[in-house]
């Protein structure tokens, strides 16, 4: 699906009773998504969004259900692009049983919004939320990219609400991944945000035990089933934490190239017998980052 097919002024059903209710910000490579699980008067809003986009999100919600039908507000972490709208929501909610669900590390920060809405720890719920036909499982994904980060898996549709994991930087906007080239957007995002390959693998191993049919990330594009296995396989070997390679460079595109150079260099050392071949590879790769004409040893 492409932008020309999807009208972003309207809600989009991405799985049965699961709706994208976000807002497309023009010229913003850091698109943020909000998702609604329609479930009668026990409906769920996932990562409520920013103050910049909430009223557009509200219109989309109310085209599907009354806002008052939302009982649960799930916040995967505390960043303002997903929790900035909470202060507005706090003034709108009238039902006494509405609640914000999150990890205790996130709640320790959300309390500073001074909200009337109660904050409930998912750990105290046994990492589950039973909605009747829908059953949500909360999966702890520590340090990706926050100590208390987690994701949400809907058993009935196989949808993984993956928060920052599987997110991507995008030029323009496509709600759905269209081809394998999209991994470059995911690669750059994870090199930038995630602390290490080992920490990323820890959570990817958890996901591989699930029957995932669709990934709904907080950033980038929704990932259909046919792309999931390939993306996970590529992420398993991705070196993350690119800011460890610099003290003052903030150009993530150049740092990504440097990350690729370092990884490729060591692979070449292991695979090539001739030192001159290693030097030739190094010269070629460095020239894409710095204006190098030749390397002498």
Q: Which distant-in-sequence residues (6+ apart) come within 8 Å of 267 by Cβ?
A: none
Host domain of residue 271:
243-286
Residues 60 and 174 in one domain: yes
Q: Which of 20-29, 34-43, 87-96 has the lowest mean pLDDT?
A: 20-29
The CATH code of the domain that includes 139 is 3.60.15.10
Residue 4 included in any domain: no
Q: Can you give the pLDDT at residue 216?
A: 97
Structure tokens at 222: 């929704």
In a domain, 88, yes or no: yes
Of 28-32, 115-119, 210-214, 260-264, least confident by mean pLDDT is: 260-264
Helix (H) or strand (E) holding 121: strand 119-121
C-alpha to C-alpha distance for 142 and 5, rounded to whole angstroms? 37
Query: For residue 134, how many C-alpha atoms fall within 13 Å in the half-sphere facing its CB?
Result: 21
Closest C-alpha to 99, from 145, 32, 110: 110
Query: Tell me: the pLDDT tens digits for 181-226?
Result: 889 889 888 887 888 888 899 999 999 999 999 999 999 999 999 9
pLDDT higher than threshold 80 for residue 135: yes
Instruction: Tell me if 83 is assigned to some domain.
Output: yes
129 three-class SS:
strand
pLDDT score recorded for residue 237: 86
Q: Which tens digit of pLDDT belongs to each residue from 74-87? A: 999 999 999 999 99
Give the chain's count of helices (H) and strands (E): 9, 13
Confidence of residue 250 (pLDDT cuts 50, 70, 90): low
């Amino acid at each position: 699906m492409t932008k020309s097919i999807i009208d972003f002024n309207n809600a989009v059903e991405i799985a049965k009773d699961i709706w994208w209710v976000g807002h497309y910000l023009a010229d913003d490579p850091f698109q943020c998504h909000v998702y609604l699980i329609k479930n009668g008067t026990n409906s769920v809003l996932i990562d409520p969004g920013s103050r910049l986009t909430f009223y557009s999100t509200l219109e989309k919600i109310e085209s599907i259900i009354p806002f008052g039908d939302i009982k649960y507000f799930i916040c995967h972490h505390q960043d303002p692009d997903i929790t900035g709208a909470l202060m507005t929501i706090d003034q709108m909610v009238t039902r006494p049983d509405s609640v914000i669900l999150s990890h205790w590390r996130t709640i320790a920060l959300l309390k500073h919004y001074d909200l009337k809405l109660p904050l409930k720890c998912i750990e105290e719920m046994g990492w589950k939320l039973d909605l009747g036909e829908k059953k949500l499982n909360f999966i702890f994904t520590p340090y990706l990219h926050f100590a208390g980060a987690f994701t949400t898996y809907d058993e009935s549709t196989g949808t993984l609400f993956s928060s920052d994991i599987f997110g991507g930087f995008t030029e323009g906007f496509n709600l759905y991944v269209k081809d394998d080239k999209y991994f470059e957007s995911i690669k750059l995002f994870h090199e930038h945000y995630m602390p290490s390959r080992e920490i990323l693998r820890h959570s990817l191993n958890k996901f591989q035990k699930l029957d995932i049919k669709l990934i709904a990330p907080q950033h980038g594009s929704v990932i259909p089933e046919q792309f999931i296995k390939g993306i996970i396989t590529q992420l398993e070997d991705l070196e993350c934490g690119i800011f460890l390679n610099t003290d003052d460079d903030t150009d993530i595109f150049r740092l990504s190239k440097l990350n690729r150079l370092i990884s490729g260099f060591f692979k070449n050392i292991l695979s090539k017998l001739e030192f001159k071949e290693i030097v030739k590879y190094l010269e070629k790769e460095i020239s894409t980052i710095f204006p190098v004409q030749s390397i002498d040893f």
